[in-house]
Structure formats: structure tokens, C-alpha cells
Structure 1
């Protein structure tokens, strides 16, 4: 499997290592990475030799959210083009969530925005001490719309409301407390902890695991086309507000947005 922004390798046991490989950009999601992750979800899902998939990031970050150049492209795009690009992200997340294999997040560092979305579609997640997390879209005058069905389902509506509205950053123990991740370990213990997550699956029926994942999703609130289209419409509406224009401009210009009090500490 040859990709530009990700790598995939499968060991003799059927454990697939799916690695985000844009370390210079902190593994931020680009349009190409989104397309490649969608494609690889289909490939891994159809490969009967694959028993478990481990998702991680190259370097010191897991995934820092949306790529800066991708963000700039959205600024210049039409409403229809923004919706189309957001739909690609939504369908990528859904493809990973609906993967018939166990999907484990090896959270090797920071995860913001779309990175939190990626963790939320995994069945289990272990993070290193010192990892930082955040749903930071409201700092830009935007909303975490595309990832919201998955994140809210993972951490619950109360935690989603608190962290998505305030855009506050939080640490790994807090991420564990709200259910985003299942454990926190020292960096040198991460691989051992991931192996402990993988091992039980070798005693399980692959078909029964797939059926149980489908059952769990059926018991939860549906994340279907109606929900996805609703989030895309709300995102498109927010992009067209004056505050989004100001927030994104402030981000690109490395200054505070005009709603931030002048005496607020950085």
C-alpha cells in the first residue's frame, strides 16, 4: 500500500499499523490525508488477514487538527466547495468508525480538533503522559461541526459542551476522566500498553467482533446521512459569519481576535 501522507504495515499476526506521516505539520489533516485515510479504511476493512488496526502519528504529535494550507483553501472556497470538503472529512471519520476491525488509537502526543475526532472513532485509545487535547474551533469563530457526532458520542454531551464551547485545552488525565482515552502511560510504556490492548482480540471471533461493533453503534444515537448533512450545513453557515472571518484572519496574522479583551493574558 503506497500513500503520501500515511503508511500502513501489517505484521504476521494481522496487526495493521496505520501511521499519519506529516510530522513537520504535526500530522495535521490535509485534503490528501483525508482521501488516503478513507481509501485505507476500505482496504483494511476488506482484508481478512487484518485482525486489529492501530492508528498513530509520526513524531511527537498525534494529529494537530486541520492543516493550515487546507484552512486557507477553505477561506477562498465557495459554500458548495466547503460543504464538499467537510463531507469528505465526515465520510472519512465514518469509514474509520464503521471499520469491521478493532481500531486502537496510539496517542503519541497532542490531538486538537480533527485529531480528537480521530480518537473518538477508535474503539480504544491509550495516550502518553504530557499529551494535550482541545476542541479549539470557537477560537476561530467556527464550530467543531464535522467531528461533533463522534466526539459527543464518545465523551458525552456535558463534557462536549464544556470543552467545545470554551476551547480550553486539557491534559491526558482529564481526557481519561471524560472517556476520550482509556489510559495514560509514560512514553516508554506506550508500546507495551498498546500490545496489552491488542492481545485479547486474538482470542475473539473476527466476525463476532464486527457484529458487536455494529450492535454498539445500533444502540447509540444514529450518525447517518441526516446527522452528517445537518452538521455540514451548520458549519457552512458559521463560515459565513463576520466572527469566522475575523477569527481566521486573526489566526493567520498571529494576533488576538477582536473579541478577546486587550488585557487578557496569552
Structure 2
């Protein structure tokens, strides 16, 4: 049914949603965004599903935007580019508002949009060897559409430590920043995720959904106006000389003009 993801559900109603582009480090393509948006709708509507675990196939959780997708965006007109940004925002919003517990099983590195994916999870647990980072500013663009979810997770003060610098950081700092609840050796990850899953199986599903919605209602505002602002900010950034230089340098495999 899906081209870029896989969903399996066990007899307890625990669904595992796997980003399934291991050969591309689970980088997000336009097709993956569509698949994830549809998957969120399907899982939300399935009364048999009690808990959803989000993970990735292979060594990486999610490397951010797919290179071909980024190249295509560089050649788009501003209006079409905004629509592409809107697809990412729609997907993140669908996962963020999923009326089921969403547990992130971050089994490898997460960059850019991959950190955004971890941020929409209700709890994320990672391997202690992983690296994370908001790498967009190296390319002359900004982590815009993931921004509301990242800021909701980290808070502005902690986000400003890493949101603009493109600096990579490890699991211990990801915990300090609020992106991960904890980190464990790879061999212990399955058990750590299971420990998060099991309590929900004793809870009333409707109450869990209502409590999650209340938490979201009481948290930082992420509405249509906020999302539209992030899309516009990213679209504006794509039109700059820095973005053209950064994206061009990346695909030319050379240093951008501002790099030391």
C-alpha cells in the first residue's frame, strides 16, 4: 500500500510505523510525506490500534530532506515551493495530533526534518550512539516548518543553543535539550520502548486521546496561522542569494562562500 513506509500491528494493538528508505537514510521525499500523512489518518481511524511506535529502517532514523526532493525544490517557482513546504507541515501536524500515543524509537541519526519527526512524538528514546542536528543553515535555509514542534519540545532558550548553528550533538545533549527522554545502548532499545508501550495497554483509549488533546491545547500555540508563518518564512528564505549559494555548493560538493 505504501511505497516509503511500513506499518505492522501486533495482537495487542501496538502499531510500528517504520520509515523504510534505509538506502537513503530514510530521507524524506514528497512520496514519504504523502505516505506518512495517509498513515497518520489510517492509524487515527483504526480503533484496534492502541499505541504507535515510530522508527526507521537501517542505520539512520531520518536524515532530513531527500536530495532529489531538495534539488527539485531549488528549481521550482515560489508558489510551488510553498506547496511543497506545506506538505511537510501537513505531515508533521498529522502526526503531532494523532489521537494515539506516539513513541519515537530513534535507532540512529536524525538531522533536520528528522529531528522534527522526533519532536512530534509524545516520548522519544534513542540509541546512545546517535547524532542529531539542525543542518539547514549550512545550506542557507532555515528549520522553519519543523520549528513549532521543535520549540514546543525544547523551549526557546534550549532551542537557541542548536537551532541556528548546524552543530551536531550527541544523545546526552539531546536529552538535556528535551529531544530525547533517555538514551540506551542499541541492544536495550527494544526493551526501553516496550517499557513505554505497556502502561498504555491498561489505559482507556478514549481517555488517553482526550488527555493528549488537552496537553496539546494547553501547550504552545500551533495553529494554521503559525504553520502558515513557517511556510512563508521558508519560502522567503529559498529566494535569497544565500540559499542559492548553499544549495548549489552542496550539490557541487564544494564549500559555500561563507564557510571557513
Q: TM-score range by the shorter chain?
A: over 0.9
For residues 104-139 of structure 1, the C-alpha deviation after alignment (integer angstroms, 9 at most, x for no partner) is 000000000010000000001110011000001000
The corresponding residue for 1:49 is: 48
**Alpha-carbon distance, 1:177 to partner:** 1.0
- Measure how far apart 1:178 and its partner are: 1.1
Q: In the alignment, does 2:69 pair up with 1:70?
A: yes
TM-superposed deviation, 1:230:
0.5
Q: Hey, what does 2:178 align to over in structure 1?
A: 179
**2:238 is the counterpart of 1:239:** yes
CA distance in 1, matches of 2:157, 2:66: 28
Q: Which runs of 4+ in 1 moved over 6 A?
A: none
Distance in 2 between the 1:163 and 1:249 partners?
Answer: 24
Q: Which residue of 2 aligns with 1:155?
A: 154
SS in 2 for 1:259: coil
Residue number in structure 1 paired with 2:4: 5
Superposition map of 1:86-165 within 5 A: 86-165=85-164
Deviation at 1:256, TM superposition (A): 1.0
Are the equivalent residues in 1 in contact too, given 2:159–2:177 (CA < 8 A)? no
Structure 1 gap segments, 5+ residues each: 262-266
Unaligned runs of 5+ in 2: none
Kindly tell me the number of residue pairs found equivalent between the two proteins.
Answer: 260
Aligned to 2:16: 17
| Secondary structure, counterpart of 1:7 in structure 2 | strand
Supply the distance in 1 between the matched residues of 2:209 and 2:102 (Cα, whole angstroms). Answer: 11
| Structure 1 position 159, deviation (Å) | 1.9
